[in-house]
């Protein structure tokens, strides 16, 4: 998920971050081709970030209860940025920027408690193309995990970002612990884009039995 200034906007995910889900660099991340600086995006305390409920998320009103089709559950909710670091930024002579080794934390509030919890996007990477004014597009990827009291979901995240659209991030999760034998498809996109910062993502997904489909 793309990062601006001291906050973050995923693939995310991207994830979401999620990209991650993940987060990605914009106008503040403009090293010369010979520089390899550490990102200035320090972890942001959760207390400093907005904490809307699913019914208060701007432009998005998730269904209060999920839809079910036999063993399949269709879920909705939001993912809220808590803290993060985009990792190490490098640049190429043609202006392409790369981020590697980032990590982000979100809080997922879904209409099914099985997929609500602490959402961590680790190993965030992105490749970005754009200008110093923050008009940009990128691809992003990493590893994603959602943890709650009953189990853990783990899976690879990937996604894209552009100035016009914001983030679009997907994750195919496999359940562990109490969710063994289940998979969770997660798709998030940007909400609440204000002052160049996104802190909330809309999430839509599906819990189903069995393994994720082959890539």
Amino acid 49: pLDDT: 38
Question: In the predicted model, what is the mean pLDDT of residues 25-53?
Answer: 34
Between residues 86 and 172, the one the model is more confident about: 172
**Bridge partners, 129 (sequence order):** 137
Question: Whole-angstrom Cα distance, residue 120 to residue 146?
Answer: 6
What DSSP string runs through the chain? -EEETTEEE----S------S---B-TT----TT--PBPS-PPPPGGGS----TTTSTT----SS-EEETTEEEEEEEEEEEEEE--EEEE-TTS-EEEEEEEEEEEEEESSGGG-EEEEEEEEEEEEEE-TTS-EEEEEEEEEEEEETTEEEEEEEEEEEETTTEEEEEEEEEEEETTTTEEEEEEEEEE--BTTB--EEEEEEEEEESPPPP-
Question: Whole-angstrom Cα distance, residue 134 to residue 44?
Answer: 21
Between residues 158 and 24, the one the model is more confident about: 158
The pair of three-digit structure tokens given for residue 25, joined into one six-digit string: 């660099």
The pair of three-digit structure tokens given for residue 111, joined into one six-digit string: 């209409």
- Quick check: 141 pLDDT over 70? yes
**For the chain, how far is it from start to end, CA to CA, in angstroms?**
21
* Residue 163 burial (C-beta neighbours within 10 Å; 0-12, 13-18, 19+): middle
The 10s digit of each residue's pLDDT in 47-57 is: 333 444 444 45
For residue 211, CA distances in Å to 71, 75, 129, 175 come to 14, 18, 35, 9
The 10s digit of each residue's pLDDT in 60-87 is: 788 999 999 999 999 999 999 899 999 9
Say how many C-beta atoms besides its own lie within 10 A of residue 208's C-beta. Answer: 17
Question: Whole-angstrom Cα distance, residue 107 to residue 116?
Answer: 8
Question: Whole-angstrom Cα distance, residue 68 to residue 163?
Answer: 35
The 10s digit of each residue's pLDDT in 94-135 is: 999 999 999 999 999 999 999 999 999 999 999 999 987 778
Give the model's confidence band at 193: pLDDT under 50 very low, under 70 low, under 90 confident, else very high.
low
């Amino acid at each position: 998920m793309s990062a601006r200034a001291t906050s973050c906007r995923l693939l995310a995910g991207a994830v979401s971050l999620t990209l991650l889900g993940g987060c990605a660099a914009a106008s503040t991340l403009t090293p010369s081709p010979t520089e390899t600086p550490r990102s200035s995006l320090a972890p942001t305390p959760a207390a400093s970030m907005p904490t809307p409920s699913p019914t208060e998320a701007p432009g998005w009103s998730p269904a209060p209860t999920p839809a079910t089709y036999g063993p399949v559950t269709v879920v909705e909710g939001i993912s809220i940025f808590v803290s993060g670091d985009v990792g190490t930024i490098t640049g190429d002579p043609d202006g392409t920027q790369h981020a590697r080794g980032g990590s982000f934390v979100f809080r997922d509030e879904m209409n099914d408690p099985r997929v609500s919890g602490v959402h961590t996007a680790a190993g965030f990477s992105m490749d970005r193309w754009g200008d110093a004014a923050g008009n940009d597009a990128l691809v992003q990827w990493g590893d994603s995990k959602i943890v709650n009291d009953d189990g853990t979901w783990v899976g690879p995240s990937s996604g894209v970002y552009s100035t016009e659209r914001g983030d679009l991030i997907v994750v195919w999760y496999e359940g562990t612990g109490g969710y063994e034998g289940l998979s969770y498809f997660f798709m998030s996109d940007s909400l609440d884009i204000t002052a160049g910062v996104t802190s909330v993502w809309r999430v839509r997904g599906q819990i189903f039995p069995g393994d994720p489909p082959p890539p």
